[in-house]
Amino acid sequence: MARFVLHRLVLTIPALFGLLVLTFIMLRVVPNDPSAALAGENATPEQIAEVRRAYGFDQPLWKQFVIYVGQVGTGNLGNSIISNRPVLRDIADRLPATMELTFVSLLFATVVGIPIGAIAAVWYQSLFDHAVRVLTVAGLAIASFWFAIILQMIFAMELDWLPLRGRFPEGLAPPYHLTGLYFVDSLLTLRFDLFGRAAEYILMPAFTLSLAGLASIARFTRAGVLETLQKEFVHYAEAAGYRRLRIIWVYVLRNSVVGATTQIGLLFGGLISSAVAVEAIFDWPGVGSYAVNAILSSDYKAVLAITLVVGLIYALVNIMVDVVHAWLDPRVAEKL
């Protein structure tokens, strides 16, 4: 198993390296002459040249790349134009909010999606199955930003049941910062009232974000279960006298889920993409809304840093998914 993890890590390195190259190219291409921009509008040619030397822009491109990689390695991704703080610090501050939102969405999508998909498969061609098929396809066609706005309109504006935007009520102090995750922190500090407030605020964003994931999970669970039900070991289990409920919920489900784990990685990518718009709409203080602000203000260092960080996280998530896959299906690890 350790060998498998190592193998997977090694496989990811070229892609991440390529990403570094890509972002470097984008970094150097964007400002036509970064030294001129940095030196200011009224700079003399000598001053511009000075800036160029100071920033190392006069070095050959490959040397600049090496410097860049070094910078990335030490976490120096530049400063944000807007906040004037190191971009990485900005991102780190906002990461817990995004992680919490993503995690709650994924949890909901999985807990609801898998049983729905499984039941639809077991009750194949029933009314429930048809309904699930229709709803899941529809769910994938609904634009999450549109859905978010509609939800806001109904539940916040019209009915006033839920807060319109934000992660926490203004003026109220959030739970003591232990992890940055409000749910965890509020529970750890035994502030159940704060837990409730956090839940109120996360409800709409998380539900919006989970929609596409739920539809996706229900679909491939259904497909997986349908396929597994055809397998020989299901017929054998029945003939050998296994209890029907156990056959479906333990034996078949595990096989279907195992087959679908690779889909979860793709799902996560979609989740991150959707999170950008959803965070912007709900004013959720995460990396997504940060990205939107950054791009609208042409804060290119921030955008590139986000690209790198998201790429890294995405790669790690995919590795974890593969590891879980190997753990669930022992044949995978041994294929090496």
Partner 1 sequence: MTSPQTTPRLDIRDLSVTVQTDEGEAKILDRASLKLMPGSIHGLVGESGCGKSTLMRAVLGILPKRGRASQGEILLDGRDLLKTSATELQSEVRGGQIGFIPQDPYQAFNPVFKVGTQLLETMRGKPAAQRDANIMSLLRSVQLPDPEHALDRYPHQFSGGQRQRLLIAAALVSTPSVVLADEPTTALDVTTQAQILKLLRGLAEARGLSMLFVTHDFGVVAQLCDTVTVMYAGQTVESGPVRQILTAPLHPYTRMLLACHPDRGTALAGIPGSVSSPLRPPSGCRFHPRCPSARPDCSAAVPPVTEPGDRHSVRCVLHAMGVAA
Partner 2 sequence: MLILKKFLRDVPAVLGFGIIVALCLIALLSPLIISDLERIYDGDLAARLQPPSLEFWFGTDSLGRDVFARVIVGSRGALQVALSVVALAIGIGVPAGLYAGYTNGWGSQLVMRLTDVFLAVPQLILALSVAQLIGRGLGSAMAALALTYWPFFCRTVYGEVRRLRNALFIEAQQCLGASTPRILFVHVLPNVASAVIVRATIGMGFTIMTTAVLGFLGVGATPPNPDWGLAVAEGRDYLPQSWWTVAFPGLGIFITVLGFNLFGDGLRDLVDPRLRRSR
Site residues for partner 1 per CB under 8 A: 231-233, 235-244, 246, 251, 254-255, 258, 328-331, 334
Tell me how far, at minimum, the Cβ of 333 lies from partner 1, in Å: 11
Say if CB 180 and CB 258 are below 8 A apart: no
C-alpha pair distances (Å), 215 with each of 55, 83, 275, 317? 49, 38, 16, 21
With respect to partner 1, which residue has the nearer C-beta, 261 or 274?
261
Q: C-beta of 254: minimal distance to partner 1 in Å? A: 6
Q: Which two tokens stand for residue 88?
A: 């990485």
Q: Which does 174 bind (CB under 5 to 8 A by kind): partner 1, partner 2, none?
A: none
Q: CB of residue 229 vs partner 1: minimum separation in angstroms?
A: 12
C-beta closer to partner 1: residue 17 or 123: 123
Distance between CA atoms of residues 300 and 81, nearest Å: 8
Contacted by 269, from partner 2, partner 1, none: CB < 5 to 8 Å by type: partner 2
Tokens for 124, please give them. 């194949």
Instruction: Please answer whether residues 99 and 287 qualify as being in contact, where contact means their C-beta atoms are separated by less than 8 angstroms.
Output: no
* Token duo for residue 328: 């669930």
* Residue 282 and residue 205 in contact, taking contact as beta carbons nearer than 8 Å: yes
Minimum distance between the CB of residue 14 and partner 2, rounded to whole angstroms? 5
| Nearest CB to partner 1, comparing residues 51 and 120 | 120
Query: Which residues contact partner 2 by CB under 8 A?
Result: 14-16, 18-19, 21-23, 26, 29-30, 133-134, 137-138, 140-146, 149-150, 152-153, 157-158, 223, 262-263, 266, 269-270, 272-274, 276-277, 280, 291-292, 295-296, 298, 300, 303-304, 306-307, 310-311, 314-315
- What the block records as the tokens of 114 is 């898998």
Tell me how many helices (H) and strands (E) the chain has.
15, 0
Question: Which H/E stretch holds residue 102?
Answer: helix 87-122
